[in-house]
Amino acid sequence: MARFGFVGVCLAAMVAVSFAAEGVDMSADICQSMAPSDWPCIVNQGYTFAIIQGWSGGYGYNSGLSDCVANAWAAGMAHVDVYVFFCPNCDGCSDPAGTIQTMVNNMAGQNIKYGMLWFDTEQCDGCWNDAGSNAAYIHTGVNQAVSMGVTVGMYSSPYEWGQTVGGDTSFTAYPLWYANYDGDQSFDDWSSDPFGGWSSPAMHQFAGDASVCGIDVDLTWYPDSGAPLNRTKGVRPVRLVNPNSRPARGGMLRKPVRKN
């Protein structure tokens, strides 16, 4: 969202804020720990969408995903998406196409209603190989999802992208959800540190380890009028548990994902 000068911009700023959406994302273990009553509390705080981890590296498919997604919808979330973290050295994930096929088939078998599948690209200890093979691995998974009719997006940060796939710019056909924990509900930081060949992002994960209704979540923002995602409105202030507990470069991994 562009920033405006002071004179004569109050109305414009109000319009800019109104055409925005803020939501939460959470890991598989957090989702599994939630009670159904937690979801209406989150919605009542003004959050309008949720993105829930569906696959966690070597730990595999989120057995609680169906309940989490159903509870999010029932609470009044306007949109519910799913994200996947997989890697070539995570147990059971050496075949990227097979991993994604299993995940998508599991969701279909459970009649899980979701909008997009976001591919979480970030580092973990011993998870990845060289940049070129890592990019090829992710492409194979993405292509599998697309072939099954799934709408795909990419998640990363400048640091994590560079560490994982180097200077690769071959994923720009998909919308980017990027992480930078600056607490700012805008894209003002994008021009100073773009990556991956994207000319503009779709969503900004601006805070990590936030506490919403006592639940540990990350917070994401996007301008409903400008992003290629049709989301609803609502902006809330940042509530951080500990802004230094995770690096500002972003990332959703909270526990080891290489299950040996």
Which residue among 22, 25, 38, 120 is the active-site one? 120
**3 state DSSP class of 79:** strand
Number of H helices and number of E strands within the chain?
A: 7, 8
Catalytic residue flag (residue 125) = no
Q: Are strands 117-120 and 152-156 parallel, antiparallel or unpaired?
A: parallel
To the query of whether residue 122 is one of the catalytic residues in this protein, the response is: yes
Which residue shows structure tokens 């194979």? Answer: 140
> How far is Cα 180 from Cα 220, in angstroms, rounded to an integer?
10
Q: Is 29 a catalytic residue?
A: yes
CB-CB neighbours of 201 under 10 Å: 21
A 10 A CB-CB count for 129 gives 13
Q: Which of 29, 67, 184, 224 is catalytic?
A: 29
Q: Which residue among the candidates 22, 122, 160, 216 is catalytic per the annotation?
A: 122
CA triplet 197, 207, 19: central angle to 5 degrees? 75
Q: Is 88 exposed, middle or buried (0-12, 13-18, 19+ CB in 10 A)?
A: middle
Strands 176-179 and 215-223: unpaired
Residue 122's CB: how many other CB atoms inside 10 A? 23
Write out the catalytic residue numbers: 29, 120, 122
